[in-house]
Amino acid sequence: MSVRHALLALLSEGPKYGFQLRQEFEEGTGDVWPLNVGQVYSTLQRLERSGHIESDDTADEGPQKVFRLTEEGKSELHRWLSTPTDMASPPRDELVIKVLSALRVPGVDVNDLIQLHRRYLVELMQQWTHLKDDEADFDLAFALVVDAELSRLDSVIRWLDQAEGRLMRAELESAVPSLVPRLRRRLVPRR
Amino acid sequence: MSFLELRNISKSYGAGSTLVYALVDACLSVDRGNLVAVMGPSGSGKSSLLTIAGSLEEPTSGEVLIEGNSLASMSHNDKARLRRRTIGYVFQDFNLLAGLTALENVSLPLELDDLSPRKARTLAMAALENIGIAERSGHFPDELSGGERQRVAIARAIVGERHLLLADEPSGALDSANGEAVMKMIRRACKQGVAAVVVTHDAHLASWADSVVFLKDGRIVDQTVPPPSVESLIAPTPTS
């Protein structure tokens, strides 16, 4: 999560106090990602050092200091917004590694492991959905954050469903070994 | 006492070498005010569970109770009356009658139950208002969008004194916004005292339920536990 760029986005609306930036960041993300004061001020100091923002030098350090976006900060913000977020390299997903590992451990039923995670993920989705039922209609930022989380959890459940189906097919194939190579050969495209 | 109770339900089709079990020893209880989702892949027995719960099909063994009354001890006519008065069905493809308006579709089950047409239409209009689609009451199904048709189907399922709503992939044919609207309506019906069972393969849909039951090869293999407080989802404020 780029707190740095989110703060630049808030300052694109005009000069703001440090405490105000923290409050607006939390409200703007539906209070799902709380920030502590230290994190806000250390990020603001870094942004000031890199010339992306400037402050009123005469004021003391602390909540009364006003920050504003520089031209450099504005172009950095637009560069960030117009650059695709890096999703090219697959994350090292612990669940995927766990399922792959379980296949090698004698006495472990990978289907049980899949169901354990499926239930856990659905329980998490239930919690997010119930939040949405209560509040989402009234807060656009919160609804967007909850939608993102639900879609992420749902995609993991879909992968578990696929994995379960694939493992079942693999088990069936190993039960009829004589038939499968023939079918496979038939499926290989002719050149 | 649960409004709907399935006790050790098994259902098989065929015989001898073609014998197939759709459900094996399934148990399920649903109270009024509760929304239960049944999740499972295609062929896991979801639809059989729903049709047996709704007395549209007989189990091979086991017992279905609605308001404590066993369906097995009911006459054919009593079961038909129960289906008309107590149970509402919602299907993926809406199942509205094309020649009837939205209002007529909703009032028809009441009229079939010997309610006067005037009273039936008053109750049907109240159900359409409850679902927020009263302004479309005079339209025919082909003049309504998919989302609107499913709303009419939900109004038909909860009109009058129906307290059991059974839905088979109710938002399967809809986009995500309309699917969400449909689930919100089913939840609202539950808050008003309806007991609901929704079968689906979609986790988004199932997550609207109070509890989710997982079906695999005809067996109930798992169930979610009631979620802890929602605050547990929010990340704690970092300390450094």
At B178, the amino acid letter reads: N
Asked if B58 and B51 count as a contact pair (C-beta separation under 8 A), the reply is no
Q: Are residues A12 and A67 both part of a single domain?
A: yes
Which residues in chain B are closer than 8 Å to A38, comparing Cβ atoms?
A: 240
Domain count, chain A: 2
* pTM of the entire predicted model: 0.82
Q: Which of A115, A133, A158 sits opposite B222 (nearest CB)?
A: A115
pLDDT band at A59 (very low <50, low <70, confident <90, very high): low
Query: Are A35 and B237 an interchain contact pair (Cβ–Cβ within 8 Å)?
Result: yes
A26 vs B233, more confident: A26
pLDDT single digits (tens) A109-143: 999 999 999 999 999 999 999 887 775 556 788 88
SS3 category, B199 = strand
Of A23, A54, A81, which residue sits at a domain end? A81
Query: Are B224 and A126 an interchain contact pair (Cβ–Cβ within 8 Å)?
Result: yes
Q: Are residues A31 and A73 both part of a single domain?
A: yes
Q: How many CB pairs under 8 A join A and B?
A: 80
**Residues of chain B above pLDDT 90, percent:** 67
Q: Are residues A112 and A173 both part of a single domain?
A: yes
Residue range of the domain that includes A127:
94-187
pLDDT band at A56 (very low <50, low <70, confident <90, very high): confident
Look up the ipTM and state it.
0.86
Q: Are residues A98 and A172 both part of a single domain?
A: yes
User: What residues pair up with B12 in beta bridges, in sequence order?
Assistant: B21
What residues have CB less than 8 Å from A59, skipping those under 6 apart?
A65, A66
Of A52, A81, A110, which residue sits at a domain end? A81
Q: Are residues A49 and A118 both part of a single domain?
A: no
Q: Are residues A69 and A109 both part of a single domain?
A: no
What's CA B32's distance to the chain center, in Å? 13
- Give pLDDT, residue B132: 85
What is the rounded average pLDDT for all residues in chain B?
90
CA–CA separation, A41 and A44 (whole Å): 5
Q: Which of A34, A38, A129 sits opposite B208 (nearest CB)?
A: A129
Task: Answer whether residue A3 shows pLDDT above 60.
Answer: yes
Q: Are residues A135 and A55 both part of a single domain?
A: no
Residue A88 forms part of a structural domain: no
Residue A87 forms part of a structural domain: no
In angstroms, how far apart are the furthest CA atoms of chain A? Answer: 83
CA–CA separation, A112 and B190 (whole Å): 32
Of A32, A52, A81, which residue sits at a domain end? A81
Q: Are residues A70 and A7 both part of a single domain?
A: yes
In angstroms, how far apart are the furthest CA atoms of chain B? Answer: 71
Query: Are B214 and A118 an interchain contact pair (Cβ–Cβ within 8 Å)?
Result: yes
Residues 128-147 of A with CB under 8 A from B: 128-131, 133
- Give pLDDT, residue A185: 57
Which residues in chain B are closer than 8 Å to A36, comparing Cβ atoms?
A: 237-240
Q: Are residues A58 and A20 both part of a single domain?
A: yes
Min distance A157 CA to chain B CA atoms (Å): 8
Q: Are residues A177 and A134 both part of a single domain?
A: yes
Q: Rounded to 5 degrees, what angle do the CA atoms B199, B113, B73 make?
A: 65
pLDDT single digits (tens) A65-87: 899 999 999 999 999 998 888 88
What is the rounded average pLDDT for all residues in chain A?
85
Q: Which of B184, B230, B239 sits opposite A36 (nearest CB)?
A: B239
Residue A114 forms part of a structural domain: yes
Residue A86 forms part of a structural domain: no
- Give pLDDT, residue B37: 97
Q: Are residues A71 and A122 both part of a single domain?
A: no
CATH at residue A64: 1.10.10.10
What residues have CB less than 8 Å from B150, skipping those under 6 apart?
B90, B94, B170, B171, B173, B174, B178, B182
Question: Chain B residues within 8 A (CB-CB) of chain A?
Answer: 39, 41, 184, 187, 201, 203-204, 206-209, 212, 214, 216, 221-225, 227-228, 230, 232-240
pLDDT band at B220 (very low <50, low <70, confident <90, very high): very high
Task: Answer whether residue A36 shows pLDDT above 90.
Answer: no
Alpha-helical (H) ranges within B132-175 are 146-158
Asked if B53 and B166 count as a contact pair (C-beta separation under 8 A), the reply is yes
- Give pLDDT, residue A62: 60
Average pLDDT estimate for B5-13: 96
**Residues of chain A above pLDDT 90, percent:** 49
Min distance B175 CA to chain A CA atoms (Å): 14
Task: Answer whether residue A167 shows pLDDT above 60.
Answer: yes
- Give pLDDT, residue A1: 54
Min distance B24 CA to chain A CA atoms (Å): 19
pLDDT band at B240 (very low <50, low <70, confident <90, very high): very low
Record the tokens describing residue A114, joined without a space: 């899949």
Residue A162 forms part of a structural domain: yes
Task: Answer whether residue A41 shows pLDDT above 60.
Answer: yes
- Give pLDDT, residue A191: 45
- Give pLDDT, residue A86: 83
